[in-house]
Structure 1
């Protein structure tokens, strides 16, 4: 999902080619080719693909494959959608151990201006911990009356130096690294700007620990700084060095969060809820018509916020939908520490976190050549979501599309995502 990740994948590609899907059995490919009613069952398909953990793979697979997770709505005993949602949501929140952030933060408007037909506000707010969160709000320059709102989530991209800037544009001369980032992942477009132009109030905030929320070198012990400093931060070479350091710091942050009694997805969720509070409180926003979406790390955040907060009336996850089995056996080496919630796979598969929002509209966009996931498990995730929505009598509220090419949110995918938002937030 970025320069650091691409470099790592290049270095490991030859050694791990069987993990990327090239050695999948023909039968497995046929099984997961197209969801059918017969697939929407409790049938378990054995996975004989070599795993990242070698001889321990079959044992780990058996733990995931012997039965459906305890709180899966796919289990026959769950017949009441609301009772299932209440029980499953309660358990997810328990497993996440969400940190308490009481009240709505005071929002400061640091700057306002018009650019490319949009009214833009540079905002900031202080949470109980860390440095202030910086954010951008975008809406049509001459908008009148409350508009539907979108929480636009930036990606991970192996790049913690940048946050909101990855998916926005506020001048004709963006940072050279941002320009390259948008060309690589977004067809050269600032997608948050583009959806705002279609009649939305869009809020984009820096996620923990990116950009304004990143870990500064001056704040950590000298022993782990690797000789780096925060001087001349906008220099591309210094940004690359920082991102490499931040990548290697992830395991420290994850272990520290576990020791503090919480999880990384919980911090995302707590902070994204505060951003949602801020968006919903605005007079220029119709709080009954709020959506969220994003690519990659932004897609993951859409899974958790969309699944757990019913104020999100329409959710779009791009380039981030698979199963716990995919992470356990095949693809955790391509991902960060930001995904995992201990013990939760016993109770819900990863797609079922997002399925908690059923029957609210949900769109999943995948890339066929995405090296972050295996195709059979992306297909299986689609099957899981489709089954839940069918059982919830809301099959028309769920859609999944696959696009050719690698990990991205290109123009064609944006077009479908924007149309999905329009369909459910403007009708």
Structure 2
């Protein structure tokens, strides 16, 4: 019975896919870049990789210099038994004071440096939450900050632009909160010659600078992770910076052309869009920049913001890039699709996240 239903569903999907859509007309007239062509040699890929990264930075816009790590201050600290919960803040040099949480295991010391996780919170329309996601279960099966600290990781997460204590701190001030504030911030940055997405990643990289500078952190053992917007932040960080050792990305493994064709641009907020990007490449080019570092993607096949065909096409292309680095590296890239699952973080996904980070980020005993 299940096979009959599955076949019927696939048949209907194929029939529907064959029908031209309004989106197909838009794509046909837009001169979008073709799928990434992976070269035959590692040397050729490394040259292409340099070009793609440079183009990404150009597309994100003209960013103000990142603040120095000396701009980061611990403003409170609370003993939680096996770990310490700190609140930090820094002036981001672009008009905002940004706050974040740091969770430091008691076993992490100058003499016994610990691995670390840069945690990127999601969107979910939950503008008031931001870094508080580290203490809750609004997006994850467990509170990720304490849970990862208990596993021996130093954990850092900051409020992204327009979220948490930055909600209502955009250029129009407190009267513009939520999606209205997000739109206002996006408009301002476009006028300033940059993107909201670029500024979001810039602040994440500033947080990474600080995390690497912490005396109890092993800077060679840092992972990055998140769900949804946090997932996308994670794979862009991996693309633009070689310091993170590994990543786990839950949901939002999205190829943009497939997103357009599926009529699901509505699934992602204005923060997400980079002008001109599809004239050069789609997201397989961004994700491939992480190779050969370990990357785990977990996506529900019912997640409308990540059309399945795009997820598969990204996986097929990125695996070819990993293969250029040798057979031993192929296991470093994994894309798992969960049947019957939407835009959620399952308990089994969390367990797999822990296993992935323990395998690739923690030092071997």
Shorter-chain-normalised TM-score: which range? 0.7 to 0.9
Structure 1 residue ranges (4+ consecutive) displaced by more than 6 angstroms after TM superposition: none
Q: Distance in 2 between matches of 1:220 and 1:90?
A: 32
- Residue 205 (structure 1) aligned with residue 158 (structure 2): yes
CA 22–193 in structure 1, closer or farther in 2 if over 3 Å, else same: farther
Mapped contact 1:132–1:212 kept (Cα < 8 A): no
- For residue 333 of structure 2, what is the aligned residue in structure 1? 398
Q: 2:116 aligns with which of 132, 149, 163?
A: 149
Match of 1:236 in 2: none
Which residue of the partner structure matches residue 236 of structure 2? 304
| SS of residue matched to 1:312 | coil
Equivalent residue number for residue 36 of structure 1? none
Change over 3 Å in CA distance of 1:50–1:259 after alignment to 2? farther
Is 2:50 the partner of 1:86? yes
Q: Which runs of 5+ in 1 are unaligned?
A: 1-20, 29-46, 170-177, 226-241
In 2, the alpha carbon distance for the partners of 1:77 and 1:62 equals 33
The structure 2 residue matched to 1:313, chosen from 245, 266, 270, is 245
Q: Which shifted more, 74-83 or 383-392?
A: 74-83
The alpha-carbon distance between structure 1 residues 403 and 99, as it changes in their structure 2 partners (threshold 3 A), is same
Q: State which of 151, 163, 167 in structure 1 corresponds to 2:130.
A: 163
CA contact (8 A) 2:77 2:86 kept: yes
The Cα offsets for residues 202-231 of structure 1, whole Å up to 9 and x where unpaired, read as: 1011111211222248x6379xx4xxxxxx
Quote the offset at 1:160 in angstroms.
Answer: 1.2
Secondary structure of the structure 1 residue equivalent to 2:306: coil
**Which residue of structure 1 lines up, in the alignment, with residue 4 of structure 2?**
none
Query: 3-state SS of the aligned residue for 2:127?
Result: coil
Distance 1:280 1:77 in 2: 33
C-alpha distance in 2, partners of 1:149/1:161?
26
Match of 1:378 among 302, 306, 311: 311
In 2: Cα distance, 1:392 partner to 1:345 partner: 27
What SS is found at the alignment partner of 1:421? Answer: helix
Q: Which has the higher contact order (CA 8 A, sep 6+)?
A: 1
**Residue of structure 1 in register with 2:3 after alignment:** none
What pairs up with 1:195-274 in 2 under 5 angstroms?
195-216=148-169, 220=172, 225=175, 245-274=177-206
Structure 1 residue 62: Cα displacement: 6.8
Q: Distance in 2 between matches of 1:287 and 1:22?
A: 50
Farther off after superposition, 123-132 or 102-111:
102-111
Conserved? CA contact 2:122–2:229, under 8 Å: yes
**Do the aligned residues in 2 keep the contact of 1:126 with 1:133 (CA within 8 Å)?**
yes
The change in CA–CA distance for 1:106 and 1:325 in structure 2 (over 3 A counts) is same
Structure 1 residues 143, 78: CA separation in 2 closer, same or farther (over 3 Å shift)? closer
Q: Tell me which moved more, 373-382 or 299-308.
A: 373-382
- Whether the aligned pair in 2 keeps the contact of 1:265 and 1:338 (CA below 8 Å) is yes
Is 1:139–2:104 an aligned residue pair?
A: yes
Task: Give, in angstroms, the shift of residue 186 of structure 1.
Answer: 1.8
Which one of 347, 358, 363 corresponds to residue 411 of structure 1?
A: 347
In 2, are the aligned partners of 1:139 and 1:197 still within 8 Å (CA)? no
Structure 1 range deviating more: 279-288 or 358-367: 358-367
Alpha carbons 2:253, 2:299 under 8 Å: kept: yes
Q: Secondary structure at the match of 1:322?
A: coil
Name 1:11's counterpart in structure 2.
Answer: none
- Residue 399 of structure 1: CA displacement? 0.7
Range with greater deviation from structure 2 (100-109 or 316-325)? 100-109
Tell me: CA distance 1:280–1:221, structure 2 relative to 1, closer, same or farther (3 Å). closer
SS of equivalent residue, structure 1 residue 342: coil
Q: Among residues 57, 77, 82, which one is paired with 2:24 in the alignment?
A: 57
The Cα shift of 1:116 comes to 5.9
Structure 2 residue ranges without an equivalent (≥5):
1-9
Whether the 8 Å CA contact 2:222–2:245 is kept in 1: the answer is yes
